[in-house]
């Protein structure tokens, strides 16, 4: 008897301990996320669910304090963790511990054509976000480069959906391995800054599916991205953050996206539309005129009190907010409440090393006809470095991708370290005004005077290295406005022409995120496109110019001779920038090289182009079969050999031509690439697998992707205009 009483008491005790320590499911880190979500929802009030759907400060959302569910903290941007911003304004908070690694602009990453570098980039920037306690990194951006005037092209991956897709997936995977959400943006059709807040984009279903959706689809279905940022503009009459087609039908319907749609800052416009058409988290609104500084402004957000009232009245079913809250809780459990995430790291030598390597691999050698590169410094006593971009910070400005780097090596600094201060003399040559996002400041210098100083220095130097291009000022490579000319700004063309007159040894190094016209190109022998390289930019440029690194980048977008050569500038203002209300993408699927090839317009430098300090020969491509069906594949095999004297990367590209199709198709389209390393004399075999997807186009009548039986051509090239071998094959009917 006594024993049984004792064991009963013991049992009671164990049970009570167990009961006390048994966590609620939503806090039980061993429970599956979906169980935790269901449990959390069951404990939340309607107000708490609604609270999850809006900002609580400039860059954070409400958590559920009563239940210990934390806020979500977000940070720009795609190139590095932005300096801390004030709670309730765009001003910098002035912290002293937030100086980051400034990674290269994503256009530079795209120009590397190296998915391994993309993963390393995402891993590294994700570590910095994690260390800075950020749950959502507001990037990467994948908007397609349709016009060289778009102020934000430097934040994106260029003109081709296949290249963009292949580069953005590993970046996202790298970021999210840190328990930080990437936030693919700006979804979608935000391909310019002019009138971005309201322009209503019209385009064909083919252009939508073949050009503008693929990178977002890859991010969601392959990259498993946890959040998507809705853009400012309209699409076929509905704002992007309240769009039934793009958010409900495509993103959450066809693609099965299980994460959160986060509005761009101020991109929500209507409670019911936002609620019913897929917006999950509203950020940065100014609501109905209350400034964001008003204490209660957040309660006036479209998805705050107005939304609560519609739920309480039954105008919107409670299931609507349950669905949103479930997605937001899923994001919280994947990030802020993810117990397995690492602790990150911040602005350490490993990240600066990654920064330099990506910058080096993105640099594109466009001309080297006089053999000036690589520089043999023993040949020169005096080297003139000329150009404001040789000293100007290019991580400051540009809009929300602005950074406060721990350091930023300028070209002048990198080149001086490399070639010796005794040889180097500097002249600014041209000058822009102080960086601003929303206005262009006048230059504080007299252009004629600083140009003369530079030309005089060039005339008496053995070698000239000009560092110019665009910068992060408004109407340059900057958010909030587009460029107003395709020409280089600040009278650089005049300066470059004069430098080329007074010295035959001129190396032009251009830093930009966009193409530009080159009226002096026939006189220039040596041209390098070096992008915005971030903290290690100067070291990367010096390593490439000196030959310590063999350039291997290739252009992710076409350099047209003049603006009118681009498809988006061939149909009047309705095609760009629109009539301030509507814009029609009249070039349709012929974006970038698709336009130049099909219309037989010769560009200055084609998509996929880039030289090396060595040379490569290509063997004849061979096919595993001369025909395939929609259910099997063909392997294309080609040998590539380094026929020069130095090691180097080569980016082997595969394009596909559909010889005959029921609907018009581009002359060819990129469907494969591989970046391979070859030592002098070394030869490697490169294989590409062609499956149905590579042959398909979107049939807007059937509203599906189709691969029509018939003859196709596979083109292997060193660029879109340098095809080294072709082969034909047929796609047979399936019987």
Query: Site residues (CB under 6 A) for ligand GLC?
Result: 76, 138, 185, 264-265, 400
End-to-end Cα spacing for the chain: 81
Phi and psi at residue 558, to the nearest 5°: -75, 140
- Cβ contacts of 187 within 8 Å, gap of 6 or more: 216, 228, 229, 230, 231, 240, 246, 251, 261
Strand, helix or coil at 485? coil
**Structure-block tokens of residue 589:** 């699927």
Q: How far is the CB of 44 from ligand GLC (least distance, A)?
A: 27
State in angstroms the smallest separation of the CB of 141 from ligand GLC: 7
Q: What values do phi and psi take at 465, rounded to 5?
A: -115, 110
| b/e per residue 356-390 (b: at least 16 CB within 10 A) | bbbbbbbbbbbbbeeebbbbeeeeeeebbbbbbbb
Closest CA to 401 of 706, 125, 684: 125
The residue assigned the tokens 């340059």 is 476
- The answer to whether the CB of 121 falls within 8 A of the CB of 354 is yes
The CA distance from 334 to 702, in Å, is 38
CB of 267 to ligand GLC, least distance (A): 8
Question: What DSSP line would sit under 10-38, residue for residue?
Answer: HHHHHHHHHHHHPPPGGG-TTS-HHHHHH
Q: Which residue of the set 135, 160, 200, 264 is catalytic?
A: 264
- Closer residue to ligand GLC in complex, CB, 361/400: 400
| Nearer CB in complex with ligand GLC: 138/225 | 138
Distance (Å, rounded) from C-alpha 514 to C-alpha 469?
9
Compute the least distance from the CB of residue 111 to ligand GLC, in Å: 21
Nearer to ligand GLC, 112 or 227 (CB): 227
SS3 state at 312: helix
Q: State in angstroms the smallest separation of the CB of 551 from ligand GLC.
A: 30
Phi, psi of 716 (to 5 degrees): -105, 125
CB nearer to ligand GLC: pick between 142 and 707: 142
Residue 264 or 650 with smaller CB distance to ligand GLC: 264
Place of tokens 């669910």: 49
Residue in 504, 428, 422, 493 with CA at minimum distance from that of residue 463: 504
Q: Would you tell me how many other CB atoms lie within 10 Å of the CB of residue 715?
A: 22
Pairing of strands 506-511, 526-529: parallel
| Residue 180 to residues 123, 186, 252, 255, Cα–Cα distance (Å) | 10, 18, 21, 22
Instruction: Point out which residues pair with 136 in neighbouring strands.
Output: 74, 181
Length of the chain counted residue by residue: 735
Nearer to ligand GLC, 335 or 416 (CB): 335
In angstroms, what is the minimal distance from the CB of 576 to ligand GLC? 19
Q: d(Cα 510, Cα 470) in Å, to the nearest integer?
A: 8
Question: Would you give the DSSP letter of residue 246?
Answer: I
264 included as an active-site residue: yes
**Site of tokens 């193409």:** 515
The residue among 138 and 656 lying less far from ligand GLC, judged by its C-beta, is 138
∠ at Cα 393 (470, 447), nearest 5°? 55
Q: Of the two residues 76 and 210, which places its CB atom closer to ligand GLC in the complex?
A: 76
Shortest separation between residue 143's beta carbon and ligand GLC, angstroms: 10
Give the helix/strand (H/E) hosting 657.
strand 648-658
Residue 24 or 197: which CB sits closer to ligand GLC?
197
Output the smallest distance, CB 666 to ligand GLC, in A: 30
Reported as type and span, the H/E element at residue 275 is: helix 271-276
Q: What is the full DSSP assignment across 163-218?
A: HHHHHHHHHHHHHHTTT-EEEEEEETT---STTTTT-EEE--HHHIIIIISHHHHH
**Rounded to an integer, what distance in angstroms lies between the CA atom of residue 612 and that of residue 554?**
10
Sequence-ordered list of residues with C-beta below 8 angstroms from that of 357, at least 6 positions apart, any chain? 117, 120
Smallest gap from residue 678 Cβ to ligand GLC (A): 39
Q: How far is the CB of 78 from ligand GLC (least distance, A)?
A: 8
Which of 554, 556, 575, 553 minimizes the C-alpha distance to 564? 575
Smallest gap, in angstroms, from Cβ of residue 687 to ligand GLC? 38
Give the catalytic positions in this structure.
264
């Amino acid at each position: 008897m006594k024993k049984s009483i004792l064991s009963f008491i013991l049992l009671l005790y164990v049970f009570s301990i167990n009961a006390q320590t048994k966590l609620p499911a939503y806090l039980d880190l061993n429970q599956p996320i979906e169980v935790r979500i269901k449990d959390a929802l069951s404990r939340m009030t309607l107000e708490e669910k609604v609270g999850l759907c809006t900002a609580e400060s400039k860059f954070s959302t409400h958590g559920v304090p009563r239940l210990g569910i934390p806020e979500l903290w977000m940070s720009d941007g795609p190139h590095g963790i932005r300096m801390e911003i004030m709670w309730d304004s765009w001003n910098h908070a002035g912290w002293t511990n937030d100086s980051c690694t400034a990674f290269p602009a994503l256009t530079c990453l795209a120009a590397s054509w190296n998915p391994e570098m993309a993963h390393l980039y995402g891993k590294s920037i994700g570590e910095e976000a994690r260390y800075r306690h950020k749950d959502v990194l507001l990037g990467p951006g994948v908007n397609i480069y349709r016009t060289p005037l778009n102020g934000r092209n430097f934040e994106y991956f260029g003109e081709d959906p296949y290249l963009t897709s292949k580069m953005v997936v590993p970046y996202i995977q790298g970021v999210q391995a840190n328990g930080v959400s990437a936030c693919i943006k700006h979804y979608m059709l935000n391909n310019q800054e002019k009138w971005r807040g309201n322009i209503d984009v019209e385009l064909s279903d083919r252009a939508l599916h073949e050009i503008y959706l693929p990178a977002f689809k890859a991010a969601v279905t392959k990259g498993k991205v946890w959040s998507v940022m809705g853009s400012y503009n309209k699409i076929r009459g509905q704002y992007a953050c309240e769009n039934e087609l793009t958010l409900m039908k495509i993103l959450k319907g066809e693609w099965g996206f299980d994460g959160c749609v986060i509005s761009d800052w101020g991109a929500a416009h209507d409670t019911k539309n936002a609620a019913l058409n897929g917006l999950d988290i509203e950020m940065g609104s100014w609501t109905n005129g209350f400034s964001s500084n008003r204490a209660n402004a957040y309660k006036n957000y479209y998805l705050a009190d107005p939304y609560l009232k519609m739920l309480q009245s039954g105008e919107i079913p409670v299931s609507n907010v349950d669905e949103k809250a479930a997605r937001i809780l899923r994001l919280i459990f994947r990030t802020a409440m993810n117990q397995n995430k690492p602790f990150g790291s911040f602005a350490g030598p490993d990240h600066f090393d990654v920064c330099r390597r990506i910058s080096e691999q993105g640099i594109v050698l466009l001309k080297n006809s006089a053999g000036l590169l690589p520089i043999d410094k023993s040949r020169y006593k005096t080297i003139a470095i000329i150009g404001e971009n040789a000293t100007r910070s290019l991580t400051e400005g540009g809009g929300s991708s602005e950074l406060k780097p721990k350091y930023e090596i300028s070209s002048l600094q990198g080149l001086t370290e490399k070639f010796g201060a005794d040889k180097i003399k500097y002249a600014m040559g041209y000058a822009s005004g102080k960086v601003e996002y929303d206005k262009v400041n006048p230059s504080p210098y007299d252009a004629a005077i600083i140009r003369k100083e530079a030309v005089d220095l060039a005339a008496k130097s053995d070698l000239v290295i000009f560092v110019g291009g665009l910068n992060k000022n408004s109407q340059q490579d900057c958010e909030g406005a587009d460029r107003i000319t395709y020409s280089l700004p600040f009278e650089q063309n005049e300066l470059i022409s004069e430098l080329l007159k007074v010295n035959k040894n001129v190396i032009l190094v251009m830093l930009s995120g966009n193409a530009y016209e080159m009226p002096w190109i026939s006189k220039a022998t040596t041209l390098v496109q070096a992008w915005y390289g971030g903290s290690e930019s100067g070291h990367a440029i010096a390593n490439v110019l000196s030959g310590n690194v063999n350039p291997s980048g290739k252009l992710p977008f076409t350099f047209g001779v003049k603006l009118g050569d681009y498809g988006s500038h061939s149909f009047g203002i309705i095609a760009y920038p629109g009539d301030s209300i509507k814009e029609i993408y009249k070039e349709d699927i012929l974006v970038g090289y698709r336009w130049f090839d099909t219309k037989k317009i010769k560009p200055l430098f084609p998509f996929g182009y880039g030289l090396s300090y060595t040379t490569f020969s290509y063997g004849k491509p061979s096919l595993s079969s001369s025909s395939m069906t929609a259910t099997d594949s063909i392997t294309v095999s080609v040998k590539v050999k380094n026929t020069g004297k130095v090691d180097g990367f080569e980016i082997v590209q595969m394009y596909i031509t559909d010889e005959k199709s029921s609907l018009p198709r581009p002359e060819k389209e990129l469907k494969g690439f591989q970046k391979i390393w070859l030592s002098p004399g070394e030869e490697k075999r490169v294989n590409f697998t062609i499956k149905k997807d590579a042959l398909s186009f979107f049939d807007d009548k059937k509203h599906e992707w189709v691969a029509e039986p018939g003859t196709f051509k596979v083109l292997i090239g060193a660029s879109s205009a340098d095809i080294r071998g072709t082969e034909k094959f047929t796609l047979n009917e399936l019987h």
